[in-house]
Structure 1
Amino acid sequence: MRKITFTIKRFDGKKEWLQRYDLPYENGKTLLWALTKIREEQDPTLNFTSACRHAICGSCAIRVNGNSFLTCKTALDEILETFQTDDLNCEPLGNFDVVRDLVIDWKPKLEKMKVVKPWIIPKDTGTPASGFKQSEQEFQKIASPTDCILCGICASECTQLSVNQEGYLEPFILNRAYRFAVDSRDAAPEEHMKPVLDHDLWKCVHCMQCVSQCPKDINLSAEIAYLRQETMKMGETQNLGARHAYAFHDDVKNKGRLNEMTLPMKTEGVVKTAMKRVPFALRMISKGKVNPLHMPKEIEGIQGVRKIYEYAKGVDQ
């Protein structure tokens, strides 16, 4: 008889250990079914969370073989086929404090979320009786971000969060900032976006893990790009991220390519570049990786590049 081996990371509040469970394979089951069967038939001390069983509450997310999944939504057969193995390693979501076994602590994250004011700041127009009407187009702007169920998968997969827990905001918090900033009923979008800028908004490395793993297919990367653009429109252009973006923009528009010698100076300033980058630049020059005397010339077809810029500018307006 085929058996599936689950190696689960246990934690009792003080110590961690790995525990193995063998479960007879059954067709058409979910990961949540497997965890429930282990707890009911083999080990009643195993702790995990679940509620709705319909991918609505978001409470049952864990990591399996290094990737995060909603256990109620994920078919066991899908996992076995994806990893091509009958050995599954289960652990709690990453970038969260662990309470016990597969149970994580949400309280610090929810407290952190308050900085973006995840609620509507109402406009003066409208009354309790009339409400605040939205057009279909206005509603569609918030339809997808509102689908977020706070499962924590995006935070678990976030590579920036794994090295910057204190400074960076979880992707689902960025989602909340975006969702209320674009809501036509909200009177103060900047009050949702400014705190995001103050928490390393530009540190996102576009690894796309939050997008590829999101069980609700929310385009978090596009939301982050929007927040960056809007903060620049608010006049927040002197931070490192905005200056780096403008340096890219200007180099490509002017020459059709980047000038790697001047890019750090445009981003960080001459003094900081001299203090931080010169030793590295000298090593690059000594290895023949960079030619300090080379100044990029306009590429062939630069006019076409500039037409794309003009087109993009018109679309943005």
Structure 2
Amino acid sequence: MRTITCRVQRYDGKSKRWIEEYKIPYEKGMTLLTVLTTIKEEYDQSFTYTSACRAAICGSCAVQINGQAFLACKTPLDDVLEALMTDTLFFEPLASFEVIRDLVVDWEPKFEKMKKIKPWLNPSSDGSREEGFIQSERDFHKINAASDCILCGVCSSSCSVLESSSDDSYLDPFILNKAFRFVMDSRTANPEEHLRAVLDNDLWKCVHCMECVTKCPKEIDLTSEIASLRSMTMEMGETKNLGARHAYAFYNDIKNKGRLNEATLPMKTEGVFTTMKKRVPLAMRMMAKGKINPLEIPKEVEGIEDVRKIYAYVQQGVQE
């Protein structure tokens, strides 16, 4: 009989941590939540995890398996075994969360963090309490996908920026999604307050690794939302920060030459003084390895006129 070896990260809620191993008989059609329930009901009643709806609505059953985050109730066991090419699964609590016990994580710090972006509708004066706010179908669809978020935490567990951050300043992807949802809501009185909140909390740190998008059980395009938030902050005049200057440096290099000038990119982003202070040692090592040539002036790529036509076409669409 085929068995699945489940190695589970245990924690007693105080100080003791250990790995517990369970061998579960394989059955076709099992989900990851079925595996967790089997361990709890048939092998070890002290084992602790969270679940509720079993229908990918509440978001409470998210866990990490072999370093990858999944929503347990929605994910077929067979898909995981095939993707990971192993019958040995290592269950852990979500990364980037404080652990309460076993696979149970503490959401309270995350909700406190979410308050920074004012995740509520501050209504405009266009509607009345009696009549409500009439929203067009087009305006509704602007927030429809973002509203699908079930706060499962899979995106946070998959975020490389949260994993590498030494402080708690960067906002989780689901928090940025919530900010996007209220910025885009046609009934919002002051979208700028949400935009300034995300800008003040390291909006530009996202590296577009797309892990949050590929792991999201609701298939929300979080990376595009973050890019839109960045564009909107620049549109309201926030163009002097490092992120905006870096974006403009990319934009202008590609428009002018069709390729990046990596030698001047740091100076355009951070300024000459900061670049000389922080980047020269790295630049010297890269020069020694032949990675960059500061004397080389990039030439225009073949077909640069077509590149500029694309810029003009996009700019025309933005103005319209």
TM-score range, shorter chain: over 0.9
* Matching of residue 104 in structure 1 with residue 114 in structure 2: no
SS at match of 2:313: helix
Tell me the amino acid that sits aligned with residue 9 of structure 2: K
User: Which 10-residue stretch deviates more, 45-54 or 299-308?
Assistant: 299-308
CA distance in 1, matches of 2:262, 2:170: 27
Consecutive unaligned residues in structure 1, runs of 5 or more: none
SS at match of 1:33: helix
Q: CA deviation at 1:288?
A: 2.8
CA distance in 2, matches of 1:260, 1:167: 29
- Counterpart of 2:11 in structure 1 is 11
Tell me the amino acid that sits aligned with residue 11 of structure 1: Y
- Counterpart of 1:187 in structure 2 is 189
- Counterpart of 1:75 in structure 2 is 76
Which runs of at least 4 in structure 1 moved beyond 3 Å after TM superposition? Answer: none
- Counterpart of 1:171 in structure 2 is 173
After superposition, residues 100-179 of structure 1 pair within 5 angstroms as: 100-164=101-165, 165-179=167-181
CA distance in 2, matches of 1:224, 1:55: 24
- Counterpart of 1:28 in structure 2 is 29
CA distance in 1, matches of 2:40, 2:287: 61
User: Which 10-residue stretch deviates more, 22-31 or 105-114?
Assistant: 22-31
SS at match of 1:18: strand
Q: CA deviation at 1:300?
A: 2.5
Q: CA deviation at 1:299?
A: 2.4
Q: Deviations over 1:54-99 (max 9, x none)?
A: 0000000001111111111111222222222211110100110000
CA distance in 1, matches of 2:248, 2:164: 26
- Counterpart of 2:284 in structure 1 is 282
**Relative to structure 1, is the Cα distance of residues 289 and 25 closer, same or farther in structure 2, using a 3 angstrom cutoff?**
closer
- Counterpart of 1:201 in structure 2 is 203
Backbone CA RMSD of aligned residues: 1.1
Q: CA deviation at 1:298?
A: 2.2
- Counterpart of 2:50 in structure 1 is 49
Q: TM-score, normalised by structure 2?
A: 0.97
Tell me the amino acid that sits aligned with residue 84 of structure 1: M
SS at match of 1:160: helix
CA distance in 2, matches of 1:207, 1:289: 23
Tell me the amino acid that sits aligned with residue 158 of structure 2: E
CA distance in 1, matches of 2:7, 2:89: 6
Tell me the amino acid that sits aligned with residue 181 of structure 1: V
CA distance in 2, matches of 1:119, 1:253: 39
CA distance in 2, matches of 1:300, 1:148: 44
User: Which 10-residue stretch deviates more, 172-181 or 61-70?
Assistant: 61-70
User: Which 10-residue stretch deviates more, 131-140 or 23-32?
Assistant: 23-32
Consecutive unaligned residues in structure 2, runs of 5 or more: none
- Counterpart of 2:238 in structure 1 is 236
Tell me the amino acid that sits aligned with residue 89 of structure 1: F
User: Which 10-residue stretch deviates more, 169-178 or 301-310?
Assistant: 301-310
Q: Deviations over 1:263-306 (max 9, x none)?
A: 11110001101101112222222333222221122223221111
CA distance in 2, matches of 1:22, 1:310: 61
